[in-house]
Amino acid sequence: MLIYYLSEHPSIVNFRWSHTQSWGSTWSFLFTSISAYLLLSIILNLLLFTRRRPVPLGPIPAVHSLAMAVISATIFTGILFSTAAEIRDTRWFWRRNKTTAFQWLLCLPLGTRSSGRVFFWSYIFYLTRFLHTLRTFIAILRRRRFSVFRLVNHSVVIVTSFIWLEFSQSFQILAILLTTSIYSAVYGYRFWTAIGLRGACFPFVINCQMLLLGCNLVCHMGVLMLHLKKGGCNGIGAWGFNSVLNVAVLFVFLNFYVKSRRTKRSDCVDFGCDSGVAIMELELNPVGCTKKKGI
């Protein structure tokens, strides 16, 4: 029953990315929504500029973290089942072209269209990036340090997931599997600490982000090798943009990680899609375990 609703339902099997049928699938919607997000974030920060104390939010941060953890786990399970179904249905074609399942995950064949099971879950992943931006408003209301990089990063994540669908980019299946698995752990951890339970004795969120970026970097190198070896991967232009983004964000994280190791008080990096950064203040308790302020 679970497999049916996550990979065999007609709405999943027959999904097709279309500017006329898929909500949020036009370039005008993309840029309008991002502009609205940036504008609302800046206005809210200006309205609260003179306020030092955080706005009471009650259980909202915990509910948001729990919702994102559940959604991420659902997307991970759905695209995992869908990937297995696609491998089962197209194995005969791969044997004829001497392609393995792992090669398909990294390098989609030229001419691939954004339709079918895995692209349905890619579409759901794209839509949930807008839900992820709520963390920006939560951080502003809590009077955390306003970060322009947070705004730019969340915007780029939305653009990237849109481009995955628009150009049927290679590597997106594996990227979503990696990202949602890490998201489930990170948001589950955030929910855990948001309800007052003890945090980890190490920078859990930062380490998860570094792990994700490292895996993405290795996989991007694999895509490049397959593209040169097999005569081309679909959506390679979009992949190039994504690669540059990952290298840039990885550099930012490495720089931040080195600085955070040198100080007892450090900023914790928030979590995004393929990349995500937002600043959260941490303090060390007497036994060296991290504990969030303002919760």
Rounded Cα gap, residues 159 and 24, in angstroms: 12
Highest mean pLDDT among 74-78, 105-109, 148-152: 74-78
User: CA angle, 134 as apex, 131 and 137 as ends, to 5°?
Assistant: 165
| Both tokens assigned to 255 | 């720089």
Per-residue confidence (pLDDT) for residue 256, from 0 to 100: 65
Highest mean pLDDT among 30-34, 140-144, 225-229: 30-34
SS3 280: strand
Q: Where are the alpha helices (DSSP H) in 133-235?
A: 134-141, 148-166, 172-194, 204-230
The per-residue pLDDT for range 212-229, each reduced to its tens digit, is 877 888 888 888 888 888
User: pLDDT > 70: what percent of the chain?
Assistant: 83
Q: Which residues contact 36 (CB under 8 A, 6 or more apart)?
A: none
Amino acid type, 75: I
φ and ψ of 25, to 5 deg: -100, 5
Rounded Cα gap, residues 183 and 272, in angstroms: 8
Rounded Cα gap, residues 1 and 247, in angstroms: 41
User: CA angle, 37 as apex, 34 and 43 as ends, to 5°?
Assistant: 140
The per-residue pLDDT for range 254-295, each reduced to its tens digit, is 776 676 666 544 444 444 434 333 333 332 233 335 444 433
**If you search the block for the tokens 């941490």, which residue do you land on?**
282
φ and ψ of 40, to 5 deg: -65, -40
The DSSP-derived string for 72-116 is: HHHHHHHHHHHHHHHHHHHHHHHHHHT--HHHHHH-PPTT--SBS
Rounded Cα gap, residues 279 and 178, in angstroms: 22
In the DSSP assignment, the letter for residue 70 is H
| Residue 30 pLDDT grade (very low, low, confident, very high; cuts 50, 70, 90) | very high
Model's pTM, two decimal places? 0.83
| Both tokens assigned to 223 | 């895509």
SS3 281: strand
Rounded Cα gap, residues 163 and 209, in angstroms: 22
Does the pLDDT value for residue 23 go beyond 60? yes
SS3 268: strand
Element (H, E) at 290: strand 290-292
Rounded Cα gap, residues 259 and 202, in angstroms: 15
Amino acid type, 62: A
In the DSSP assignment, the letter for residue 55 is P
SS3 221: helix
